[in-house]
Structure 1
C-alpha cells in the first residue's frame, strides 16, 4: 500500500513550461531538454539535458520528492554540519579546488535512502523487473539535468538531483536534491502535489495538466484556464497541422473530465473550451 499523501515541489520546478511533456515514440532520440523559464522578480531558470523528460519522469520526480518529505535526512549548512554531513555535502557540490572548497558555505540538502520498489509503489508503477529498470532509467535522466538559476547578476548551477546511487542486488536507492528542491521539501515555498490524486489518474495529458494546475491553484482556491493553455502544458511545441491542433483539444477535454472524476476537482465550464478549476480543500492538518 502506498502511504505518502503529497509532494512539496519547488513551485518554479513545477511550473517550468515543457520541463515535463508528452513524448512520441521517437522523441527521445530527436529532442533534447532546453527550457528557459522566467519565474518572476528577475529570476530565470534554465534546464538543460541530453534527453527530454516525459510523464514517467514527472511521476518519478514527484515520488522522490514525496519520499524526501517525511523520511529524508537533512544535510545542513557545511559550517555547522557533522563530519559525515560535510563529506556528503562535498559530494554534492564538488568545488574546483581546496581554496574554493574552504570558502564555500554549502546550503542545505535532503537525502533519501530507500528502495526502488518503494518508489514504484508510491507512484503506482509496476514493481516487476522491467518496471524497476524503467524507474532506474528515469532517475538517471533526472540526474543528468543541469539547472542554472539567474537572479539579477548572480548565476548558480546545480543538478536537478545532486546525488544518485542504486544497488541491483538489494534494490536500494539513494538520492539527494538540489538546494532549491530541498528548501521546498523542508517547509519553504512550494507547490503541493497530491499523490492520492495523481495515483488515480491514468492518461498522460491528465497527469501533466494536473501537476501544472496544482502548481498555481492552491488547495481551496480556483482559477479559470482555457483548453489552448492546457494543451500547452502537455505539448509545448505548436501543432504542425490544424488536425493535430483539434486532436490535442479533444484530448484536453478528456483530461479535464478525468481530473474532475478521478482526482475530485470541482470543474465548471465557463465558455467554449474554457473551465474554472476549483481545487479540493486540504483534509489533513499538514500543509
Structure 2
C-alpha cells in the first residue's frame, strides 16, 4: 500500500504469479512475435518455420502476432503452472470436449494432453501488469481470437509429413459466471508440466517492462540465457528479435539500433548486466533465479 499526494491509501495489486515455464521453441522462433506498426495486422500474415533441434515448427495464422499477444500468452502459461486443469484426449465435461474440438489436434497431438486455464479477464490482465479498462478488455479478447487462429505444425527432421499439429491455443467463455477458459497446445503443456525442457520467464520482469522492443528482446534472451548465466550477442541481432524483416533504409536501421539500446537499458533496470565489450557487441548476464521453481 502506498500514499497518494492527497494522502489517500491506494492498494497495489497482489500478483500471484512469479514465473512462467514456457516452451523454448515458442520463445525463440524468429518472427513469431514482432513489433507491429498501425495497419500491419491488416496487410501481413503469419507464416514462419523455425528449426528447433530435430524438428521444424511451422506457425501459420491470418494475422501477425505482436508483443501484446506474447505478453498475454506469457500470463496464460504462467497461470497454467499452479492452476492448470489437465485436458486429456477424451474429456468428460462439455467445456472440455468443446475446447478439445476447437484445439483441432491432429497426428500425434490427438493422443497428447493439453492444459486449461480458467480465470477472469480482469485477473489475467492484472497478472500481466495491465488494468481492466474497456480498451484492455477488448484488446485481450482480440488477442485471444488472433492466437486461437494460429496453427502450430511440427515436422521431424527429414520427414515428409507432419508429426503433430494443433492450434497455438483455443478459448471459450463460461456464460454462467463470466470466466474465461483457455486451452494451451500440447507442446506448451509439456513444458509447463516438466515433460520437456522449459524456458523460465520472470513475471515480475514481464510486468515491469515498458516498451514492445524490450518485451520482445526479453523473451528471446530468456529463451537462450538461463538465470545466472550469460551470453554474447550483436546489436543487429537484437534488432532482429524485434523487427525480423531486413531494413533496407539506413535511417530505419539507425532508429532500430537506438530503440534496441534503450531496450537494453530497461533490462539493466531489472538487474540484468549489459557490457558492450566492442562497438555493437554485448555480453548480457541474466539475474540469478529469485523465486523457487515449480515442483
Structure 1 residue matching 2:231: 3-state secondary structure: strand
Structure 2 residue matching 1:268: 3-state secondary structure: strand
Rounded Cα–Cα distance in structure 2 between residues aligned with 1:114 and 1:95: 23
Structure 1, 212-221 or 166-175: larger mean CA deviation: 166-175
Give the alignment partner of residue 27 of structure 2, picking from 9, 14, 27: 14
Corresponding pairs, count: 276
Aligned to 2:234: 226
Residue 231 of structure 1: CA displacement? 0.2
Q: For residues 45-89 of structure 1, what are the alpha-carbon distances to aligned partners after superposition, in whole Å with 9 as ceiling and x for unaligned?
A: 0001010001110100101111111001112454xxx74498467
Structure 2 residue matching 1:239: 3-state secondary structure: coil
Q: Is the 8 A contact 1:114 1:174 kept in 2?
A: yes
- Mapping of residues 106-185 of structure 1, within 5 Å: 106-152=111-157, 153=159, 154-155=161-162, 156-161=164-169, 163-166=170-173, 170-185=177-192
Rounded Cα–Cα distance in structure 1 between residues aligned with 2:268 and 2:244: 23
| TM-score for the superposition, normalised by structure 1 | 0.90
Structure 2 residue matching 1:58: 3-state secondary structure: helix
Structure 1 residue matching 2:111: 3-state secondary structure: coil
Residue 105 of structure 1: CA displacement? 6.1
Distance 1:273 1:132, change over 3 A: same
Residue 226 of structure 1: CA displacement? 0.8
Residue 265 of structure 1: CA displacement? 0.6
Matched, 1:216 2:224: yes
Q: Is the 8 A contact 1:89 1:106 kept in 2?
A: no
Distance 1:175 1:269, change over 3 A: same
Q: Which runs of 5+ in 1 are unaligned?
A: none
Distance 1:284 1:46, change over 3 A: same
Rounded Cα–Cα distance in structure 1 between residues aligned with 2:138 and 2:150: 19
After superposition, the CA RMSD in angstroms is: 2.3
Structure 1, 121-130 or 217-226: larger mean CA deviation: 121-130
Give the alignment partner of residue 240 of structure 1, picking from 206, 223, 248: 248
| TM-score for the superposition, normalised by structure 2 | 0.87
Structure 2 residue matching 1:245: 3-state secondary structure: helix
Q: For residues 180-199 of structure 1, what are the alpha-carbon distances to aligned partners after superposition, in whole Å with 9 as ceiling and x for unaligned?
A: 01001111311111110111
Aligned to 1:190: 198
Rounded Cα–Cα distance in structure 1 between residues aligned with 2:110 and 2:180: 27
Matched, 1:55 2:67: yes
Residue 273 of structure 1: CA displacement? 1.5
Matched, 1:269 2:276: yes
